[in-house]
Chains A and B, each alone.
Chain A
Amino acid sequence: QSVLTQPPSASGTPGQRVTISCSGSRSNIGINSVNWYQQLPGTAPKLFIYHNNQRPSGVPDRFSGSKSGTSASLAISGLQSEDEADYHCLTWDDSLHGYVFGTGTRVTVL
């Protein structure tokens, strides 16, 4: 049902770099900016990246976002145990006239 595709899981050891992809189409990521949300277990999502690559205050600078064509990515460098969470991408879809979320990616710190 989700319009945006993410890998179901990603993992790394402490200190490693992990990258999560979000694949869409011309009607969504191709023409609109992407936001990323972190969701810790049992809690509501929290805005982590907005407008493709901007970090809200309080989000560590080891989190970065990028967009190219119809795909976007979230990178976590220097992975830490507290980064274990689900990450969701979000953008607007001009064809559907609505918001579309990614399928979500669970990040595990080994």
Chain B
Amino acid sequence: EVKLVESGGGLVKPGGSLRLSCAASGFTFNTAWMSWVRQAPGKGLEWVGRIKGKIDGGTADYPAPVRGRFTISRDDSKNTLYLQMNSLKTEDTAVYYCVRESDLIDSWGQGTLVTVSS
């Protein structure tokens, strides 16, 4: 069974930084493409980036709203995915989900809440 458990969310001031983690189990993590998706309170879903498996180059892609501020990385030895968020803005307030791509986005974690407020 695929299991994704996010952690690291919390309250941070505008301009601050936060790193989220996602512990993965139940599948071969080192070849999996992984993404982060967020959902602002009462809003829809928004993709915030993905990282390919090392065998496919291990590169990451980001949408314009977070490019240059967010960085996705992975530690395959720990089956863990990370999201480093810098220069946070109030509009980054959201539940952040770790998701697995297996040809398509098929599995989601339970999410972790990030609140950016002074």
Contact = CB atoms under 8 A, between A and B. Distances in A.
A49 to B, nearest CB: 10
A44 B89 CA distance: 24
Interface in A38-62: 43-47, 50-51, 56
Contacts of B105: 35, 47, 90, 99
Given A44-B108, A47-B106, A51-B104, A99 B97 contact: no
A99 B44 contact: no
Contacts of B53: none
Interface string B5-16: 000000000000
B63 interface: yes
Interface residues of A, number: 24
Given A50-B104, A50-B106, A51-B104, A98 B61 contact: yes
Given A44-B97, A96-B63, A101 B106 contact: no
Interface string B36-60: 0100000111110010000000000
Given A35-B105, A50-B106, A90-B105, A98 B45 contact: no
Interface in B53-98: 61-63, 65, 97
A34 B27 CA distance: 24
Contacts of B108: 44-46
B31 interface: no
A103 interface: yes
Contact of A44 (B44, B65, B111): B111
Nearest to A90: B105
Interface of B: 35, 37, 43-47, 50, 61-63, 65, 97, 104-111
9 contacts: A37-B45, A44-B108, A45-B108, A47-B106, A47-B107, A98-B62, A101-B37, A104-B44, A104-B45
Given A2-B46, A37-B45, A47-B104, 9 more contacts: A1-B65, A35-B105, A44-B108, A50-B106, A90-B105, A98-B47, A99-B105, A100-B47, A101-B46
Interface of A: 1-2, 33, 35, 37, 43-47, 50-51, 56, 88, 90, 96-104
